[in-house]
Structure 1
Amino acid sequence: MTIAAAAPVMLCAWLPTAPGAATATAALAGVAALALALWQMLRRLGVPDPDRAAALILLLPSVALNGVIGAHDTLWAAILLLALVAALDRRHDAMLGWAGLAIGLNPQAGLTAPLFVALLINRRVPLLRWPIAPLAAAAALLGTGSVGWTIGLRPLLHEAITGHLLAIDAPNIWTIVQTLPLGYPLLGLAIAIAIGTIATVIAHFAARPIGDHDMIAAALLCTMLAAGLLPLMHERAFFLADILSLALALVRRDRAHWRIALLVQAGSTLALLGHASGIDALTILGGGMTIAATALLAGPLLRPAANDNPVIARSA
């Protein structure tokens, strides 16, 4: 089922259709691949009735809006889920290959990279195997470039070079900070905070084993922290967090994780609406919600003592 889940993503990239038809085909193929990849993950984690649970992906506002605005986030997100499934199965070559492929399609997939780095360190995966990810990313860049896709590095680099704000309609802390009359540039400080936090999270997860059910929580936290602290993030920066928060709620099936999922969905949707309408207040409100969700998730996951942490200690 791994290849079946990724097949719509691969096929739509080389489909010789007209631009409008290609966009619609890619959107439909991306949603199908995303649902299949989520189904495989939920089935692997023993979620009851994974077919019905995976179908909930169709109800997420960010997934519906992604197709409307012509974005292709569902494509790389589906492949990233396959990387997480491979990580659950300890198939590290496949994990690196899928992760690299996703990053090559869109560098936003790299928001989850801290978890994969931590797993490579914790599981003592030989360094000779690490280059699989960059090689897969390079292959994806060459493949998408050959057919004229623009979902690789170019859009993000353009935003980073031309943008003068800390955040580009992203529902994170920098959207809030940049509204304050501080009067001096904070880009360097934002980068330093993000790098320091990400390095700390890598060290934390690299120092202890992560149970199967906890893998999704750790992936979500890495994604939330990276999207929440890196500068120059855009309004779709929390798309992967939308998917992972739903998956985590379906796995844990408790009120606390459904609350986190609702906060993430609301924050991400408000940012999309704020970007479309030009109402900054919506994006700022969305930023408050994603910050709250990150705090609720980080509390149990980042406790100093692993033996006292039921989230880390439990394995599937």
Structure 2
Amino acid sequence: MVLYVACLPLSNGDVREHLLHWTAYLIEHGRFAALGDGFSEYAPPYLYLLSLGTLLAPLTGQLVAIKLVSIAGTLFLAGCMRWLLAAVVDRDTARRGALLLLVIPTVVANGPAWGQCDALYAGFVLVAVGGVARGRIALAMLATGVAVSFKLQAVFIAPLVLATLLASRGRWWTLAFLPSAFAAMMVPAWLAGRPALDLARLYVTQGEYFHDLARSVPNMWQVLRALAPNLPYGPGVVVGLIVAAIAVVLVALAARDRLDDPRRVLLVALTGAMLVPYVLPKMHNRYFFLADVLSFAYASASPSPRAARIAVLVQLASLLAYATFLVHLMGGAFVGALVMTCALIMTIREFDAKVAPLGTGLAVTPEIQGRTRPELRRRRPNTAR
């Protein structure tokens, strides 16, 4: 609480150039009526919450009102983390994981310090992952649709969604819940007067906001751009989209037989959250936030030295990218890209590693990964006792 309160007066370029202007626009043009105008490039669901937050502005000031919305989103994220972990570990571990999430560096930097809202879409993604882990596929699809309505980065769990359908764990018709949930979240803005076509093209418009293959993001395009400064934008976007699509399909095909354990579901989600933004162009420095959260969740659910190293490296890479904007650290995103590359390699190795058969009661450690199934079956009665 002390840490979050200390973050309330902190400001930055995004707050001064965007969030404060949007808050003032909501107050001046009517909290509901303003939603019918395209005054912000952010998706309407966040603007709904920001509009409610402006009710506190006369008491707290606009900056603090913005931060309180972000902090509320962070608390929501922690609650979703507890729900996700409860599908994998015992209740006490899930509660500890949710509490610890509130103080990991990128979570504090993203919401309370930066005033951003990535915790909102990430929270719904955690609900989606927990839904798949519990076999509640309709809930997972609904949560994914809501997450996409907040931010398009929610599509980074596309490998898990596709793997779930390929494994016949859910009906293909449940995909209809994704656009349905997205459309439902746009209804208030439409009722306020915003054109339906404008809302349907929301993310197409966002994609035209800047023309840059990498925006201080720790991914491969940051490295490629440093090695080849004149890398053409158009071909780079096409190549990146094709590589990302291939990566999604390959991960889904490899994962479709690995969804019988909640830990594996979590690992598939983490792999997508790291690999997709790593190969996609036009990413921002905060686009690994979902990987930050899921790597922490995986380390909490499957404690091992490698899982812990992955979580630490992802945090470090993201923080270096954050620092390029928040404290103007030169070269932070480039170094972060190298760190993220190491984390991604370790994650892929974890993804390919052998997993103990269900019901053995054994932790997934290097000591048991090389054992055969008969050896594990022979140990099962003793482990149970």
Q: Same fold (TM over 0.5)?
A: yes
Deviations 1:124-155 (Å, cap 9, x if unpaired)? 53222220111101222334676899xx9988
1:164 correspondence with 2:211: yes
* One-letter code aligned to 1:108: Q
- The answer for the alignment partner of 1:139 in structure 2 is 184
Matches within 5 A, 1:6-155: 12=49, 15=52, 17-18=54-55, 20=62, 22-47=65-90, 48-67=92-111, 68-143=113-188
Change (3 A) 1:182 1:116: same
In structure 1, C-alpha distance between the alignment counterparts of 2:170 and 2:289, rounded to whole Å: 29
Q: State the match for 1:196 in structure 2.
A: 246
Alpha-carbon deviations, 1:224-265, whole Å to 9, x = none? 001111110101011011111111111111111110000000
Q: 1:174: how far off? A: 0.5
The worse-fitting range, judged by mean Cα deviation, of 21-30 and 139-148 is 139-148
**Contact map agreement 1:166 1:187 (CA 8 A) in 2:** yes
Distance 1:166 1:212, change over 3 A: same
Aligned twin of 2:220: 173
Q: 1:269 aligns with which of 315, 319, 340?
A: 319
Asked if the contact 2:286/2:322 (under 8 Å) is kept, the reply is yes
Q: Match of 2:280?
A: 230
Which structure would you say has the larger RCO, counting Cα contacts within 8 Å and 6 or more residues apart?
A: 1
Q: Is contact 2:53–2:69 with CA below 8 Å preserved after alignment? A: no
Whether contact under 8 Å (1:271, 1:283) holds in the other structure is yes
Aligned CA distance change for structure 1 residues 82 and 29 (closer, same or farther; 3 Å): same
Q: Is contact 1:107-1:153 (8 Å) kept?
A: no
Post-superposition Cα deviations, 1:5-51, rounded to whole Å, max 9, x if no partner, equal xxxx9994662634625423321211111111111222221244322
The gaps in structure 1 that reach 5 residues or longer are: 1-8, 304-308
Relative to structure 1, the CA distance from residue 272 to residue 90 in structure 2 (aligned partners, 3 Å threshold; closer, same or farther) is same
Q: Structure 1 residues 74-83 or 269-278, which shifts more?
A: 269-278
Whole-angstrom CA distance in 2 between matches of 1:27 and 1:257: 28
Measured in 1, the distance between the counterparts of 2:77 and 2:169 equals 30
Conserved? CA contact 1:114–1:201, under 8 Å: yes
Query: Which letter maps to 1:65?
Result: A
- What does residue 3 of structure 1 align with? none
Q: Tell me the CA shift for residue 271 of structure 1.
A: 0.4
- Give the structure-1-normalised TM-score: 0.85
Kept after mapping to 2: 8 A contact 1:104/1:139: no
**Counterpart residue type for residue 112 of structure 1:** I
Q: Secondary structure at the match of 1:44?
A: coil
How far apart are the structure 2 equivalents of 1:32 and 1:92? 25
The one of 309, 312, 330 aligned to 1:259: 309
CA contact (8 A) 2:166 2:253 kept: no
- Residues 44-67 of structure 1 show CA distances to partners (whole Å, capped at 9, x for unaligned) of 212443222211112122211222
| Structure 1 pair 13–96 and aligned structure 2 pair: CA distance change class (3 A) | farther
Q: Distance in 1 between matches of 2:324 and 2:135?
A: 40
Relative to structure 1, the CA distance from residue 209 to residue 49 in structure 2 (aligned partners, 3 Å threshold; closer, same or farther) is: closer
Aligned to 2:298: 248
Q: Tell me, yes or no, if structure 1 residue 205 matches structure 2 residue 250.
A: no
Identity percentage of aligned residues: 26
d(CA) in 1 for partners of 2:118, 2:162: 22
Residue 163 of structure 1 aligns to a residue in which SS? Answer: coil
Inter-CA distance 251–224: structure 2 relative to 1 (3 Å threshold): same
Deviation at 1:292, TM superposition (A): 0.7
Q: How far off is 1:69 after superposition?
A: 2.1
- Relative distance call for 1:269 and 1:84 in structure 2 (3 A) is same
Shift of 1:302: 3.4
- List gaps (5 residues or longer) in structure 2: 1-45, 362-385
User: 1:28 and 1:250 mapped to 2: Cα distance?
Assistant: 23
SS in 1 for 2:89: coil
Preserved CA contact (<8 Å) 2:75 2:102 = no
